[in-house]
């Protein structure tokens, strides 16, 4: 088959799968509203006093690393202060008895941060010539390690030339990107040269979640800093395609009706015990009360890889799950007859990844891994996690009705 014919076949196959998946995903592509580069990272800085001015490269904001004003009053935990931007008038010495949401906000609120970013853009000046300007954006994050490590979303910090982290007590620090992962929409930011005690949020176990249990979301929607909303776990195990540089399906998401808006991205979803059980990441734009969070157990594993290796150990491609029913629908709706009845269809390959180095291409169908059938992407994810860095996977692949095997080194 010629190069043009090969490209045409792959494009037709990709279009056919995309058409079917679009219907199968309840039109999340058309209704999805994701913070960061999609809406939360707007070109105009929010008109709130909590967004700091853009910082010169490598410089910290005036007073960064130092808590401005007077120290917190007696009885206020580290991270709170009297009359801070996020909590006017300060917090009471004790949360009201029996109010779980207040207790959660009291316990974890100090560790929820506002992540401010600047992305350098080249635009045209009034004479039509090129000029550079900063596109300012904001999101949320949560301090999960006493070393000043912050969990947030990849789309919050994507392409940022400068990052700053604002705490509820008014302290501002320069942030350094430790690593990010577009396939899970997660990132870790390091607070640079922290001074004083940093509050840390406890991490829970998202595998223990049950539908209907109460949850609390804390973040910075539309720049309204350190806002608290409540709801319940509406569903578990949701799969959501999101926009971006790669065609990514976020797996195993927590669905909640706790109010989530642009700017909440990266903020924690908490259980009644005040433990982080998810990281808020997306909403359905044209709906009300349909938000999604990345399970903290996944975020914990991703963060460990980012801290240790600067990247996540994975096979390096995004894919759609094929089933006999889906294969039949692709044939009936797109006129494409696939040579296999199940497997994983390769939608995109991450450059310089194990998959790309093994020769995997867009349009390939992976049917087996180390001799075992592959029915969904989760099968490959489990194998990658089991083998770890340096592991070997032999993939059975179908390309243009031809079958071959290739070795992937993680």
Q: List active site positions.
A: 155, 185, 265
CA dihedral 313, 315, 320, 325 (to 10 degrees): -120
- Which of 380, 222, 260, 189 lies closest to 278 in space, CA to CA? 260
Residues 6+ apart with CB under 8 A from 183: 246, 248, 312, 314, 318, 350
Q: How many Cβ atoms are within 10 Å of 173's Cβ, its own excluded? A: 26
The DSSP string of 177-238 is EEEEETTTTEEEEEESS--SPPP-PPB--GGG--TT-EEEEEE-GGG-TTEEEEEEEEEEEE
- Which of 206, 180, 234, 167 lies closest to 36 in space, CA to CA? 180
- Which of 256, 218, 216 lies closest to 236 in space, CA to CA? 256
Is beta strand 112-124 parallel, antiparallel or unpaired with respect to 130-145?
Answer: antiparallel
| Alpha-carbon span 138 to 220, nearest angstrom | 8
Contact 374, 320 (CB under 8 A): no
Angle at 209 between CA 208 and CA 210, to 5 degrees: 120
Is beta strand 162-166 parallel, antiparallel or unpaired with respect to 149-152?
Answer: unpaired
């Amino acid at each position: 088959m010629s190069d043009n014919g090969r490209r045409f076949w792959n494009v037709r196959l990709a279009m056919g799968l995309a058409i079917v998946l679009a219907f199968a995903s309840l039109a999340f592509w058309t209704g999805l509203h994701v913070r960061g580069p999609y809406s939360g990272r707007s070109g105009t800085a929010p008109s709130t006093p909590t967004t700091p001015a853009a910082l010169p490269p490598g410089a910290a904001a005036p007073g960064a690393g130092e808590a401005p004003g007077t120290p917190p009053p007696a009885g206020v935990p580290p991270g709170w202060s009297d009359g801070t931007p996020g909590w006017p008038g300060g917090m009471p010495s004790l949360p009201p008895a029996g109010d779980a949401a207040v207790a959660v906000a009291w316990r974890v609120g100090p560790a929820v941060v506002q992540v401010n970013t600047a992305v350098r853009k080249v635009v045209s000046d009034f004479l039509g010539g090129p000029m550079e300007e900063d596109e300012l954006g904001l999101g949320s994050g949560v301090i999960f390690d006493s070393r000043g490590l912050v969990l947030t979303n990849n789309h919050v910090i994507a392409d940022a030339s400068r990052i700053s982290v604002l705490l509820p007590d008014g302290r501002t620090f320069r942030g350094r990107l430790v690593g990010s992962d577009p396939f899970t929409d997660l990132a870790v930011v390091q607070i640079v040269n922290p001074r004083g005690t940093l509050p840390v949020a406890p991490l829970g176990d998202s595998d223990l979640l049950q539908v209907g249990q109460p949850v609390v979301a804390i973040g910075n929607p539309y720049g309204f800093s350190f806002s608290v909303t409540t709801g319940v776990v509406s569903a578990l195990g949701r799969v959501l395609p999101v926009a971006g540089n790669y065609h990514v399906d976020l797996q195993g998401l927590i669905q909640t009706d706790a109010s989530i808006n642009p700017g909440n991205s990266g903020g924690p979803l908490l259980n009644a015990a005040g433990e982080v059980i998810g990281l808020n990441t997306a909403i359905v734009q044209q709906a009300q009360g349909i938000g999604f969070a990345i399970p903290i157990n996944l975020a914990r594993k991703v963060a460990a890889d980012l801290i240790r290796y600067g990247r996540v150990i994975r096979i390096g491609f995004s894919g759609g799950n094929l089933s006999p029913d889906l294969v039949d629908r692709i044939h009936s709706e797109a006129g494409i007859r696939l040579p296999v009845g199940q497997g994983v269809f390769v939608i995109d390959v991450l450059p310089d990844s194990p998959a790309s180095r093994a020769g995997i291409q867009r349009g390939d169908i992976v049917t087996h891994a180390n001799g075992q059938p592959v029915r969904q992407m989760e099968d490959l994810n489990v194998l990658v996690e089991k083998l770890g860095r340096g592991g070997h996977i032999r993939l059975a692949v179908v390309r243009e009705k031809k079958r071959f095997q290739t070795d992937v080194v993680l």
